[in-house]
Amino acid sequence: MERTSNLVTDEKNKTIRMEGLFRDITERKMLEEEFEEAESRHRQLLNMLKEGVYQSEPAEDGVFTWINQAGAEMLGYSSIGDVVGVPVKDVYVNPNDRKELMKNLDKEGIRKDCISYCKKKNGERFISEMTCTLLRDESGKAVRVEGIFRTRTEK
């Protein structure tokens, strides 16, 4: 139950009565719990993948807003929380790669199988193969980048 109440006062600011409303929020609470459980299952599934999965702000200097455990480890971090807030351009050997990616995403909306030279937190370099999408809201404004990446060995 959810309760809302107000005191009603007269012109001398003396309380004359209390008005209230009770609302049954059982259904809303059940829906919230179902949503939280579904979100938890999806996060668990994403964290089981060997590929890195991430979300970031949609700007050249945007930061990671979420990443799965495999992605964090590929970038040399021990936990997801350590990556959130890190500028995405910092993982590229050439920071201009992020600028080019964002320019292409703005035009095309999706980039598939992009190859980039990236670096871990400790500076160790690796080749990354990535597919990512620029998501927009109803007005067309870019709201986030979502992507999948994996390490690739040179051939």
Q: Which of 16, 31, 48 is the last residue of a domain?
A: 48
SS3 track for 67-110: ECHHHHHHCCCCCHHHHCCCEHHHHECCCHHHHHHHHHHHHHCE
Where residue 121 falls among pLDDT bands split at 50, 70, 90?
Answer: very high
Q: Are residues 84 and 16 in the same domain?
A: no
The confidence score (pLDDT) of residue 110 equals 95
Number of alpha carbons in the 13 Å side-chain half-sphere of residue 58: 19
How confident is residue 25, by pLDDT bands cut at 50, 70 and 90? Answer: confident
> Do 30 and 106 fall into the same domain?
no
Q: Specify whether 43 is located in the same domain as 73.
A: no
Same domain, 77 and 149: yes
* Residue 85 sits in the same domain as residue 148: yes
Rounded to an integer, the average pLDDT of 54-58 is 97
Q: If pLDDT is split at 50, 70 and 90, which confidence band does 39 have?
A: confident
* pLDDT exceeds 70 at position 150: yes
Range of the domain at 21: 1-48
41, 99: one domain: no
Q: Which of 23-27, 39-43, 57-61, 77-81 has the lowest mean pLDDT?
A: 39-43
**37 and 1, same structural domain?**
yes
Structure tokens at 148: 């999948």
Same structural domain, 56 and 24: no
- What distances in angstroms separate CA 29 from CA 19, 33, 34, 78, one per listed residue? 25, 6, 9, 35
Give the CATH number, domain containing residue 55: 3.30.450.20
Whether residues 123 and 75 share a domain: the answer is yes
In terms of Cβ atoms closer than 10 Å to its own Cβ (0-12, 13-18, 19+), residue 72 is buried
Residue-level pLDDT at 155: 52
Residue 95 contacts by C-beta under 8 Å, 6 or more apart in sequence?
A: 89
- Bigger pLDDT: 2 vs 132: 132
| Residue the block writes with tokens 């829906």 | 31
Residue 1 confidence (pLDDT)? 79
Among residues 13, 32, 48, the one where a domain terminates is 48
Domain shared by 100 and 90, yes or no: yes
Domain count along the chain: 2
95 and 150 inside one domain = yes
Phi, psi of 4 (to 5 degrees): -125, 135
